[in-house]
Structure 1
């Protein structure tokens, strides 16, 4: 049965003597950044900045390829806004380094190729980029950008007032943004203290190098809340509370915690950058990667040389560290988000950051599954834990009788259609199947599509249906106690969905919310 293990040193290695530990450095402030505005306009609404630019538009799928660890970002840079703004690279190189976009910028997948590619475009020209967008930036992109040292600012006022050719400056010490052309300064949405520390330190690799030695010496410790504490926590919050590295840390919206991970899965597409991060933090020859899993299910069976090279990076890494089935899934073994649960690597109460946005699917099994980028995953492979910023909570109670021919896909499309343009607003979603009508496959689809719903995660607390599914798989002894959302838990939004009113649905282009 899957359990959180302590670090395993490679024979002959010593943490105290690793180059990684010696390379740790303190924070650096940096000089003010200056540049011109590069604005994405809405082609349908004159004068309006473009909303909902997703990561597929930032980095098209064909460019999400790494052919070697030495040239990770070459394709990512070349593909940046390939179709949305073909001359993007040229414009950045001539000084248009303040990228201005509307609300919900960089929603979508966990591909860290997007912020890494954007940063790479600026780096190759010897300039720094600042992303300035409105509200509700994609949560995975935002975390990835902080990890990489890419400057991201959320200020709707700054976006609305920006015009072509405006000169901007950004002070890295204070995060103050100034439109020098218009003589106006803006205070961006605040970061948590831990996020600010990651930013000031220059990114997650530097934080990882600093924390790595102690993480190797520390034994993982998962403690579940007592009844009085659990009573005021949602399912998501209880899992976070149990998995805290720092046991005095408060679990509340906006707080950033260090939390132990039960499983840290990557796909063949996200593994290479995770491997790069792990090696950069640990030195590459100190410990075995912790809680690792890799599934080859994205770039396989297409007979493209570049994709085969990418898959080979993960395969060679797995061979080097002795990672085998079920933690290493070869092409054809199965799809990421069904394979790992079927192998009983996903368990109720587990905390699973996965380098794929649809890792939210694990919420179907009573786990806290959510999407992260490759640097977060590589950091977790090195330390055994990740940084997690607690979101606001919302609840959806499914009532009524499920109708014939209606599946989990129809249920989630109905929910996304109701949520409309705002979607889940980055919250954690507690699902309650009041009548125990939704089989695990339906729940998987609903939790999975919280990626499209722009939720941090979605979770069904484990119930009789959940445990029956595990018994059928031969898992009769599970590591964590049974839990349910607390009676006094607070939800920002509390709603019901009457299943008797849900009919078979199809979503129109270009959003699942168009059902």
Structure 2
């Protein structure tokens, strides 16, 4: 057999049978994480057809998108006021009970954003295939697994058969040499990649991240890389498992224990691309050349370094991109040549499945310690899970946020997607650690600038988008 990429090795190990000659296969899926807003249709179709869930133990359901993030978590505060979304939550619990699927509800101590919960509970392990009804399922490639998002009809098929009809993707290697400089994070790296290759630059590909800079990242930084790879249209992203990952997984609730752990690690060490494996595309990045990134437009690829100015659409040769730039600048209320550094904000938000883990909160707290949020700025921090929140409180990080003037909230998707009470209004400008800056993503007419958690903290205290690095030097 010829040398294979890690992606192909995982896929090949999960093929039930080929389907024709067009690179389509029936793929076995090890794990599915369900959420309250994409699963009801799938369960309804399943029930209408008189089918049952074939392997309930492989699925876990998490309530996250519509969850209130009020500072107190109780039966009194965890009430979804919108009737349609409240129904989604009730259906999630009813379907879980009917089909014997574990549900992490709003009062469950394991509750959180699905892509945070899956890694901290070790629901995803190296070599697995995971699918879920959310595009950011690519996140789980940081666990040495293959993760991808699926639609509601595919969720139904997966629940009934534990398989999916799957098109084998092309592969892209992104090799990141050197080391990230102080004040530069995984979020900056992935935003720089997306800016370089475009929002469609990885269409039809699964990315494998390699190189010294990737190896130096903690698992949570790798989760950020894989999470946002979908913003370049990647259908998956992966980092080969190593000792950093094994240390992260050891002792987690769903990880193997005792002798099984040792056997698992021995097998996981063999999960890597073969020597001589050929990728369909190769991208080389110098980590040392990356500076803190900020988006200026309404697509994650419309970004620039903090020391740059808003670009002029007149200099863009591609007509489609030029039109997109013009529309983005109009929506964002910006002018060509305007400096990003110093642009005033009204809101600062730290959270989402991209940047709400404990390392993200630690990075922001380092900036905030001894400082205060600027007058006129509303700042919120929403931990990615109840467990992250508890850990931050135990470490004193929650106190740092509170003393700085941030609202310390309960876990949930919150202002990433504005499906609960956390949202902006037209004209608000938000420094955000989230993954998408689409029109209306944080609320109709709201303007979103993506950046790292540390950069959000810096913007909050300055009252304007600013370079975090000077704040870290003293």
User: Residue 407 of structure 1 is aligned with which of 185, 201, 206?
Assistant: 185
Deviations 1:381-422 (A, max 9, x none): 111111110111110011111111111111100000110254
1:292 and 2:70 matched: no
What SS does the aligned partner of 2:86 have? helix
How many pairs does the alignment contain? 279
Distance in 1 (alpha carbons) for counterparts of 2:252 and 2:198: 38
User: Residue 384 of structure 1 is aligned with which of 155, 162, 181?
Assistant: 162
1:342 and 2:342 matched: no
- Residue 277 of structure 1 deviates from its aligned partner by 3.2
| Matching residue of 2:276 | 488
Alignment of 1:318-397 (within 5 A): 318-324=96-102, 328-331=103-106, 333-397=111-175
Distance in 2 (alpha carbons) for counterparts of 1:431 and 1:287: 34
Alignment of 1:74-93 (within 5 A): none
Question: TM-score with structure 2 length normalisation?
Answer: 0.56
Distance in 1 (alpha carbons) for counterparts of 2:93 and 2:104: 10
| Shift in CA distance, 288/468, structure 1 to aligned 2, threshold 3 Å | closer
Distance in 2 (alpha carbons) for counterparts of 1:286 and 1:506: 44
| Matching residue of 2:237 | 458
Distance in 2 (alpha carbons) for counterparts of 1:496 and 1:372: 30
| Matching residue of 1:263 | 31
Deviations 1:32-82 (A, max 9, x none): xxxxxxxxxxxxxxxxxxxxxxxxxxxxxxxxxxxxxxxxxxxxxxxxxxx
| Shift in CA distance, 285/421, structure 1 to aligned 2, threshold 3 Å | closer
- Residue 452 of structure 1 deviates from its aligned partner by 0.9
| Matching residue of 1:445 | 224
Deviations 1:251-274 (A, max 9, x none): 99x511111111011211011012
- Residue 509 of structure 1 deviates from its aligned partner by 1.9
Alignment of 1:107-118 (within 5 A): none
Which sections of structure 2, spanning at least 5 residues, go unmatched?
A: 69-79, 304-474
Distance in 1 (alpha carbons) for counterparts of 2:198 and 2:28: 34
- Residue 250 of structure 1 deviates from its aligned partner by 9.2
User: Residue 198 of structure 2 is aligned with which of 398, 402, 420?
Assistant: 420
Deviations 1:254-299 (A, max 9, x none): 5111111110112110110121233245x14585646222111012
| Shift in CA distance, 293/490, structure 1 to aligned 2, threshold 3 Å | same
- Residue 488 of structure 1 deviates from its aligned partner by 2.5
Distance in 1 (alpha carbons) for counterparts of 2:65 and 2:184: 28
Alignment of 1:472-511 (within 5 A): 473=252, 475=255, 477=261, 478=264, 481-482=268-269, 483-511=271-299
| Shift in CA distance, 285/425, structure 1 to aligned 2, threshold 3 Å | closer
Deviations 1:159-206 (A, max 9, x none): xxxxxxxxxxxxxxxxxxxxxxxxxxxxxxxxxxxxxxxxxxxxxxxx
Contact residue 251 and residue 390 of structure 1 kept, 8 A: no
| Shift in CA distance, 286/481, structure 1 to aligned 2, threshold 3 Å | closer
- Residue 244 of structure 1 deviates from its aligned partner by 1.0
User: Residue 42 of structure 2 is aligned with which of 260, 271, 274?
Assistant: 274
Alignment of 1:306-321 (within 5 A): 306-321=84-99
What SS does the aligned partner of 2:216 have? coil
Distance in 2 (alpha carbons) for counterparts of 1:309 and 1:298: 13
| Matching residue of 1:127 | none
Distance in 2 (alpha carbons) for counterparts of 1:339 and 1:442: 16
Distance in 2 (alpha carbons) for counterparts of 1:251 and 1:441: 39
- Residue 434 of structure 1 deviates from its aligned partner by 2.6
**Structure 1 stretch displaced more, 353-362 or 254-263:** 254-263
Contact residue 141 and residue 239 of structure 2 kept, 8 A: yes
| Matching residue of 1:245 | 16
Which sections of structure 1, spanning at least 5 residues, go unmatched?
A: 1-228
| Shift in CA distance, 280/398, structure 1 to aligned 2, threshold 3 Å | farther
What SS does the aligned partner of 1:451 have? helix
What SS does the aligned partner of 2:189 have? helix
Contact residue 393 and residue 430 of structure 1 kept, 8 A: yes
